[in-house]
Amino acid sequence: MAGRGKTLGSGTAKKAQSRSSKAGLQFPVGRIARFLKAGKYAERVGAGAPVYLAAVLEYLAAEVNFGFIFVKFFSFCFLNF
């Protein structure tokens, strides 16, 4: 019959996608959400709060890592001649 679409169970199931990959982050959004809820920081935690916090933490980790590499590089270049 035309217009009925596919029958149930005939298609392939979609693979689950994590909230971290949806946001394009490396830090675990689900784990941060769990910690925020378990830590009793607030009665309720919004859906965007753990994503935002994971993005901030990832940015800070990248800045610290870059600063460390920057200092190592220049100390090697200018102190080892």
pLDDT tens for 40-68 read 888 899 999 999 999 999 999 998 888 87
Q: How confident is the model at residue 71 (pLDDT cuts 50, 70, 90)?
A: confident
Predicted local confidence at residue 60, as pLDDT: 92
Please name the residues in contact with 19: beta carbons below 8 A apart, sequence gap of 6 or more.
29, 30, 33, 50, 51
Predicted local confidence at residue 9, as pLDDT: 64
Question: What is the rounded distance in angstroms from the CA atom of residue 43 to the CA atom of residue 41?
Answer: 7
Predicted local confidence at residue 41, as pLDDT: 86
The CATH homologous superfamily for domain 21-79 is: Histone, subunit A (1.10.20.10)
Please give the mean pLDDT across all residues of the chain: 85
Amino acid type, 23: A
Predicted local confidence at residue 32, as pLDDT: 95
